[in-house]
Structures are given as structure tokens and as C-alpha cells.
């Protein structure tokens, strides 16, 4: 029970879950290990209709990171409910659906449909995807628009709503406060940082979409700093993410103020990473003299350690 975490709508046996977009709908990883070991699963984004996504190349490697511009490829909300959720319902883990769209009407439609499914325990409102032309990040960089969309989706959803924040803003705390005031039940952060790589032989961007979202270990310090700031600015829980690949990365996010942690890009490097982190957590808590993992939540700001 030292790993158990209760969050709005979510009873997590441990605070570890794969991040949206890095785990599909679980089918591929279920061939590798029992998904019931996971605290939760944040499934790939759903839009109102099916989307083909962007042209390729869709990924480019960077120093300790990766740029992606998939473009929200997904079969659409109805197909996801009909063909993906029944499979996921067989596992003893909390399923969080990622809601995306181009217009507020589309977001509301997707949120209403997904929240009505008993397999879904909470929604993650994706207002931070940098790889689509309309919607996505434009909702996530303006506090007024983000708040309005949060309000609409909250009204349409029968399940708690976590808003996924974009790091591509001047003040992350303004964004967090705005969605909290609009009724968000929690925050997930951070989505990817907008970046670009250029092929030196052609002088052209490597990604077909030209720009993409940077993820991986390279962005972890940015994510930690933002969680640290937001945790002190709002009273709703945070699921932290950005470059997590080890048990100590998880603890850094908890110290910074997160109540649970999602693992993204590391699933590509090591598809067993979530399972391995969960297995390693109790031993690491013992070494650090921590009883329950959330005993140290927010320690980075709650306690000033004397360095004299």
C-alpha cells in the first residue's frame, strides 16, 4: 500500500503509468507483460473522426531526446470505444483517455463519448499537442481559451478531467491557475517542447511536419521545474511527466510536487520500463527511508534543508 495513490477518479495501485501517445492502446505492450501491474494507462489521443496524421519522417533523434510529429493519428472516438476499450477493460488498471480535437465542439463530443464508457476512469484534455494545425496547442497557450475549453469539457464529461499543459508558454502557473479555476480536477504535465532538426546535407528540416515535439531525458529538468512551480500555485493534483526513465526520475517528480508520474519516450528505449520502475520502487523507498511514496511529495518546496 506504500505505492497506492488516490486521485480524482483514479485508484492507482502505484503512481506509474505510460504516457499518452507512447503506448498506443496497450495491445502491443500486453504481449510483453501483464498490463495489470501498471497504476494506470494514458491511452493514445482520440479525435472525433479518424485521423491519418502527418507525413513521414515523423521522428528525429536529438541529444538525449527525440522529436516527434505523429499528428494525432487515431481511428476516431467511436472506433476506439468499439475496438480498443473492450481489450483494455480486461486489465486491472485505471484507463485514462486522452481527448483531442480541432474545435471546442469536437473536444466536447469526444469527451462526452469517452467519459460515458465504464472502462474510462478519467479524461486527459489534450490542449498541448504541437503537431496539429488546428486546435491542440492553440488552446493550451492562452489561459482564457484553455479555461473556456476546460469548462465546456467538464460540463460534458461524467468523469474527472485532467488538463494536459503545454510547456510552450511564458507562464505555466497562469495556465495552471486558469484551468483550476475552470474546474479541472487535475493537471498532467508536461507535453512536449516545440523543436526542430535540420538535415545538414539538404538544409531542410528532417521532420515532414518541419517542427515537432521534443521529449525524452533532455526535457526532464524543464518538466521538474514546471511541476515544482505549478504544485505551489494550485490545489489540484499533478501527474508529472517528461523524460522519466528511472525510479529516481519518478522520485524527482514526486519531490517536485507530482502525485503520480507518467513514462513516455522511455517505453521506446525499453518497452519493459514501466514494469521495471514499479518493481524497483519499494527497494528505493527503503534505501531512502521513505514509508509511503507521497510522504515526500512536494518536499522540494515544503522543507528548506539547511546546507550549513
Question: Could you list the residues that contact other proteins (CB under 8 A)?
Answer: 21-24, 27-29, 31-32, 52-53, 56-61, 64-66, 68, 70, 73, 216-217, 265, 267-272
Least distance from other proteins to the Cβ atom of residue 106, Å: 20
The answer to whether 129 is a known catalytic residue is: yes
Catalytic residue among 22, 129, 134, 274: 129
Cα R_g (the chain), whole angstroms: 18
Of 3 and 91, nearer to other proteins (C-beta) is 91
* Residue-level length of the chain: 308
DSSP 304: P
CB 267 within 8 A of CB 18: yes
Least distance from other proteins to the Cβ atom of residue 206, Å: 9
Least distance from other proteins to the Cβ atom of residue 44, Å: 8
**H or E stretch including 162?**
strand 161-164
Of 269 and 279, nearer to other proteins (C-beta) is 269
Of 27 and 286, nearer to other proteins (C-beta) is 27
Residue 233 makes CB contacts below 8 A (sequence gap 6+) with: 173, 176, 177
Of 237 and 264, nearer to other proteins (C-beta) is 264
Which residues on neighbouring strands pair with residue 66, listed in sequence order? 61, 215
CB 33 within 8 A of CB 18: no
Least distance from other proteins to the Cβ atom of residue 107, Å: 21
Taking alpha carbons only, the member of 59, 93, 92, 72 closest to residue 269 is 59
Catalytic residues: 129
Amino acid at each position: 500500500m506504500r505505492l497506492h495513490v488516490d486521485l480524482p477518479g483514479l485508484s492507482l495501485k502505484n503512481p506509474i503509468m505510460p504516457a499518452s501517445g507512447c503506448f498506443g492502446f496497450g495491445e502491443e505492450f500486453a504481449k510483453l507483460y501483464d498490463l495489470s501491474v501498471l497504476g494506470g494507462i494514458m491511452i493514445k489521443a482520440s479525435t472525433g473522426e479518424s485521423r491519418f496524421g502527418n507525413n513521414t519522417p515523423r521522428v528525429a533523434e536529438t541529444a538525449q531526446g527525440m522529436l516527434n510529429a505523429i499528428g494525432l493519428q487515431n481511428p476516431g472516438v467511436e472506433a476506439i470505444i468499439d475496438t480498443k476499450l473492450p481489450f483494455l477493460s480486461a486489465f486491472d488498471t485505471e484507463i485514462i483517455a486522452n481527448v483531442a480535437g480541432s474545435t471546442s465542439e469536437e473536444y466536447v463530443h469526444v469527451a462526452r463519448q469517452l467519459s460515458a464508457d465504464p472502462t474510462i476512469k478519467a479524461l486527459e484534455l489534450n490542449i498541448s499537442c504541437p503537431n496539429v494545425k488546428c486546435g491542440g496547442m492553440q488552446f493550451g497557450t492562452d489561459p482564457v481559451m484553455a479555461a473556456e475549453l476546460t469548462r465546456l469539457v467538464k460540463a460534458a464529461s461524467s468523469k474527472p478531467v485532467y488538463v494536459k499543459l503545454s510547456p510552450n508558454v511564458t507562464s505555466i502557473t497562469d495556465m495552471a491557475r486558469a484551468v483550476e479555476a475552470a474546474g479541472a480536477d487535475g493537471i498532467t504535465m508536461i507535453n512536449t517542447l516545440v523543436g526542430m532538426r535540420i538535415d545538414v546535407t539538404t538544409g531542410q528540416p528532417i521532420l515532414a511536419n518541419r517542427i515537432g515535439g521534443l521529449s525524452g531525458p533532455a526535457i526532464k529538468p524543464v518538466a521538474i521545474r514546471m511541476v515544482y512551480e505549478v504544485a505551489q500555485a494550485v490545489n489540484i493534483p499533478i501527474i508529472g511527466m517528461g523524460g522519466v526513465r528511472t525510479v529516481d526520475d519518478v522520485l524527482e517528480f514526486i519531490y517536485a510536487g507530482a502525485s503520480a508520474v507518467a513514462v513516455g519516450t522511455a517505453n521506446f528505449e525499453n518497452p519493459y520500463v514501466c514494469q521495471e520502475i514499479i518493481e524497483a520502487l519499494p527497494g528505493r523507498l527503503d534505501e531512502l527511508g521513505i514509508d509511503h511514496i507521497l510522504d515526500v511529495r512536494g518536499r522540494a518546496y515544503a522543507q528548506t534543508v539547511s546546507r550549513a
